[in-house]
Every structure is written in structure tokens, then in C-alpha cells.
Amino acid sequence: MTDIASSRRVSASWIMLLTLASVATTLVFKCATPFPALAALAAMYMRTRDGVSVAIAAWAASQLVGFCWLEYPVTANSLAWGGAIGIAALVGALAAHAAATRAPRSFAARLVLGYLAAFVAFKVAILAGAFALDGGWAAFAGDVLLSQFVRNAAVLAGLLLLHRLLTAAGMPSPRSEYVLA
């Protein structure tokens, strides 16, 4: 098997694994897929295109779970919000990669800056959705934002632990655009 084929297989495995993790968190939190946490982890260990693939796959999975199991209403507004969330997930993924690849070489600095960039970009895109769809303002109350920030940080910590455990058990890590410190 070529290095390229092997790299693609590893990336596909991690995309699937992170998508499954997002499904679990969507079910646990009843709709709150941790897109900023997924974006930050992908920015640390994956190429940008694979991080975007994680965002798309996690978004599609969250919509499937929401409409099939969590009984989201099938209305124009609900579908429009689904689209807005998908755009926000993509914006967050791109922001996380941009920040992580431009941050100092320290793993901690890249992780923190990638997470902050993902969270802020995701929320700004959701705010644009709130303006466009004329609703959803409660999500921008200070206590709600703080709760979401902390919850996403906790999920990121769990995803980092999962990554470490799986790589320690022999699962190869996907490759990013830069050498990890």
C-alpha cells in the first residue's frame, strides 16, 4: 500500500471516529454537537481538508440524529437553522486550522488558539444566522455562552484523551500540515 493510500485510510478512519463521537455527544446533550471541540482537535492532528470533512460529516450526522431520533420539527425554520449550523461548523473548522497553523510551535498554544478561533468563528456564524432567521438570541446570553464554552472545552479534553489512548494502543494518528511538537 502506498503512503498516500495509507494516509487516506488513516484520515478516513479518524473522520469516521470523530463523527461517531459527535453522534454520541449530540445524543447526550440533546442537540449540542461540539463543533468547536471537533474543529480544534482536527486542527491539531489533521489536514485542513480532513478537518472540513469532519465538520461536514459531524453536521450531517447531527442532523440525521436530530430529525430521526430527537424529533426536530420539520419546518422551514428548523431546516434553515440546520443549514446555518452547517455553515458555522465549516467556518469554525477553517478558523481552527488557520489559527493552529499560524500559532507558536507549542502544542498547548496551538490547541488553545485553535479552540478559541473555532469557538468564536462558530458563534459569529451562528449570530449571523440569528440575524438572518430573526431568532435564536437566547443562545447569546452570557451564561449560555460560558456554559457552551466550558462544555466544548470538556469535550475537547475528552477527545484529546481518546486520541492519546487510541494512538498509544497502536492506531496511527492522521497527518497535519505541520510537524507536531
Average pLDDT over residues 106-124: 96
Mean local confidence (pLDDT), 124-138: 90
pLDDT at 108 over 60: yes
Q: Which of 14-18, 24-28, 78-82, 114-118 has the largest mean confidence?
A: 114-118
Look up the pTM and report it: 0.90
Q: Percentage of the chain with pLDDT > 70? A: 93
**String of DSSP letters for 56-118:** HHHHHHHHHHHHHTS----SHHHHHHHHHHHHHHHHHHHHHHHHHHHS-S-HHHHHHHHHHHH
Q: pLDDT at residue 84 above 90?
A: yes
